[in-house]
A = this chain, B = another copy of it.
Amino acid sequence: MWKTVTIIGVGLIGGSIGLALRERKLAERVIGVGRRAASLRKAKRLGIATATTLDVEEGVSEADLVVVATPIAQIVDQVCAAAPACRPGTLITDAGSTKGTIVASLNGQLPEAIRFVGSHPLAGSEKSGPEAATADLFEGRVVVVTPSRTTRKGAAEDAADFWSALGATVFMMSPEQHDAALATTSHLPHLLASLLAGATPRADLPLTATGWQDTTRIAAGDPELWTQIFLDNKRNVLKSLARFEKTMQRAKAAIERGDAKALDRLLTEAKAIRDAVGS
| Chain A residues engaging chain B, CB cutoff 8 angstroms | 122-125, 141-142, 144, 171, 181-182, 184-186, 188-202, 204-221, 223-224, 226-228, 230-231, 234, 237-238, 240-241, 243-245, 247-248, 251-252, 255-256, 258, 260, 263-264, 266-271, 273-277, 279
Contact = CB atoms under 8 A, between A and B. Distances in A.
A6 B119 CA distance: 58
A243 B204 CA distance: 14
State the number of copies, please. 2
A234 B257 CA distance: 10
7 contacts: A185-B209, A194-B266, A197-B273, A205-B273, A238-B252, A241-B252, A241-B255
B263 A227 contact: yes
Given A185-B200, A185-B207, A231-B263, A271 B192 contact: no
A275 B220 contact: yes
Given A202-B273, A215-B217, A216-B274, 14 more contacts: A124-B211, A141-B209, A144-B207, A181-B204, A182-B207, A184-B201, A192-B196, A193-B211, A197-B270, A211-B218, A214-B215, A219-B274, A237-B255, A238-B252
A224 B264 contact: yes
Contact of A171 (B122, B186, B206): B206
Contacts of A247: 195, 198-199
Nearest to A241: B252
A277 B223 contact: no
Nearest to A183: B204
A231 B260 contact: yes
Contact of A277 (B190, B213, B274): B213
A215 B273 CA distance: 13
A210 B269 CA distance: 21
Contacts of A142: 206-207, 209
A278 B277 CA distance: 26
Contact of A184 (B200, B213, B227, B243): B200
A256 to B, nearest CB: 7
A208 B244 contact: no
Given A206-B171, A227-B263, A258-B231, A192 B215 contact: yes
